[in-house]
Amino acid sequence: MTRVIHTGDTHIGYQQYHSPVRRRDFLAAFESVIDDAVDDDVDAVVHAGDLFHDRRPDLPDLLGTISALRRLDDADIPFLAVVGNHESTRGGQWLDLFERLGLATRLGEEPVVVGDTAFYGLDHVPASRRDELEYAYEPHDVDYAALVAHGLFEPFAHADWDTETVLTESTVAFDALLLGDNHKPDRATVAGTWVTYPGSTERASASEREGRGYNLVTFGGDGSGDGDAVDIRRRALETREFVFITVELHDGEGESRAREAVRAHDLTDAVALVEIVGEGDPVTPAAIEEVAESEGALIARVTDRREIDTEAEFDVSFADPEAAVRERVESMGLSEAARGIDETVRSEGVVDTNVRETVKDQISELIDDPGAFTPATGEDATSGGDGQEEPSGEERTEATERDGADGDESGGSSDEDERDDGAEGNDGDDGDHGTESIPSEQQVSMEDYL
């Protein structure tokens, strides 16, 4: 019997809403998973990618991650992982550094055996390169096998990777696919094989409403007595509270009604996400945000979803011109490369003198991927899912934050966190408001270590 924690999409280093507190939350969630692994003495922790939110994590996040991995190692629990689309670099991977330090094992085509289960890995691969994949895995001689992979697999929302093809073409018969990328936890069977996502460990977008957690997966379980080869259970994590408030305004109602609705909630230390729907008078989002903050909210964001149907130009929310620009750019059908450049040019996180260099880096990374220079189809450019995403690296090709398979539910508006996610793509990391924007040369890069 082999019992492992299956986690992923921890996105350490994500300064969501430009909040240093939120940034610590993402590391704290990872630490909780490690605590549970040690307390529970599992046989391994399996991480399915996106340990980091971007390819240039800062030193405090790296140090925190290393400390957590060291604790795991001190407890003799192996950390087995693959590389996700958010953190992937052109040179060595952070995971290689941890492996060199003896704190992690990067999974691949050769089996890594823990107890009676062999683990294999498949890093995120852009859709344009998947045809080349051979799924050639070295044989093993134990009872069970699992493939740990990062991508959007069938049969879940936003899937673009055919699970049956993977299973059919693989030279090893897998009992389970332990996945990352889709932030929504789920499980299903495909051709008799378990396929499961543990979900993200902190809400990386407003659309990730349900509670966060991870999977506890047992191969060859004897306890339950039902003879199943694979048993998948979900465990909850305690994470930052998000309070979702929908205020429906009727004719004649306006700001005072909205304030009242917000005050009716306990917002202490929470992220308060307020949406205004219905009719009624105009409200100033910033004023409502202030109310939520005075009620103790760590972060407050108000989105007015009411269509103002008089004249189209009023549809721009002046509280958020950046979002309006972004929305318009997205509807232009630009190629991935072009969108990346646009992001870099507009981002406050990239100082002017660095724009040329940053764009050069971006294009060098994309140069081998012809798809990145193809104009987006109408669908890609405008529609739901990851429509709000601005992929800017090869790794981010299709999916990224629909990652939040959830991307969808966020209502297709460009609200705060989508801007965060987008901005991240250009190395400027959430630079939009200039809060703590870090010139890229001050960031630690993988090459500094290897």
Instruction: Give residue 167's region: left, alpha or beta (phi > 0; psi -120 to 50).
Output: alpha
Is 11 a known ligand-binding residue?
yes
Question: Is 158 marked as binding a ligand?
Answer: no
Residues near 279 by beta carbon (within 8 Å), at least 6 away in sequence? 249, 250, 251, 253, 306
CA distance to 56, 158, 213, per residue, from 378 (Å): 32, 17, 35
Residues 389-418, interacting with Mn ion (CB under 5 A): 403
158 among known catalytic residues: no
Work out whether 336 is an interface residue with Mn ion (CB under 5 A). no
At position 47, the amino acid (one-letter code) is H
Q: Which is nearer to Mn ion, 198 or 340 (CB)?
A: 198
Minimum CB–partner distance for residue 384 and Mn ion (Å): 18
User: Which of 86, 158, 250, 265 is an active site residue?
Assistant: 86
Q: Which span sits near Mn ion by CB under 5 A: 4-12, 98-106, 321-329, 410-418?
A: 4-12
Exposure class string for 255-272: b at 16+ Cβ within 10 A, else e: bebbbebbeebebeebbb
Residue range at the interface with Mn ion (CB under 5 A); choices 1-9, 141-149, 347-355, 380-388? 1-9
Identify the residue among 9, 54, 175, 416 touching Mn ion (CB under 5 A). 9
In the complex, minimum distance from the CB of residue 392 to Mn ion, in angstroms, rounded to a whole number: 15
Structure tokens at 139: 């044989």
C-beta of 163 vs 205, nearer to Mn ion: 205
Q: For residue 222, say whether it is annotated as part of any ligand binding site.
A: no
Q: Which helix (H) or strand (E) holds 120?
A: strand 117-122
The piece of 50-58, 323-331, 359-367, 435-443 that touches Mn ion (CB under 5 A) is 50-58
Q: Does 85 count as an annotated binding residue?
A: yes
User: Cβ(274)–Cβ(292) under 8 Å?
Assistant: yes
Distance, CA of 225 to CA of 449 (rounded, Å): 48
Instruction: Identify which range of 8-16, 95-103, 157-165, 355-363 contacts Mn ion by CB under 5 A.
Output: 8-16
User: Which DSSP string corresponds to 13-49?
Assistant: T--GGG-HHHHHHHHHHHHHHHHHHHHHT-SEEEE-S
Tell which residue, 79, 95, 71, has the closest CA to residue 43: 79
Q: 204-243 mask for Mn ion (x: CB under 5 A)?
A: ----------------------------------------
Decide if 433 contacts 15 (C-beta within 8 A).
Answer: no
- Block residue for tokens 């408001």: 433
Output the smallest distance, CB 232 to Mn ion, in A: 20
Rounded to a whole number of angstroms, the minimum distance from the CB of residue 260 to Mn ion is: 37
- Nearest-approach distance from CB 180 to Mn ion, in angstroms: 7
Strands 117-122 and 144-150 come out as parallel
Dist CA 208 CA 407 (whole Å)? 8
Choose, by CB under 5 A, the member of 25, 31, 43, 50 that binds Mn ion: 50
Interacting residues with Mn ion (CB under 5 A): 9, 50, 403
By annotation, the residues acting in catalysis are 86
Known binding residues for Mn(2+) are: 9, 11, 50, 85, 150, 183
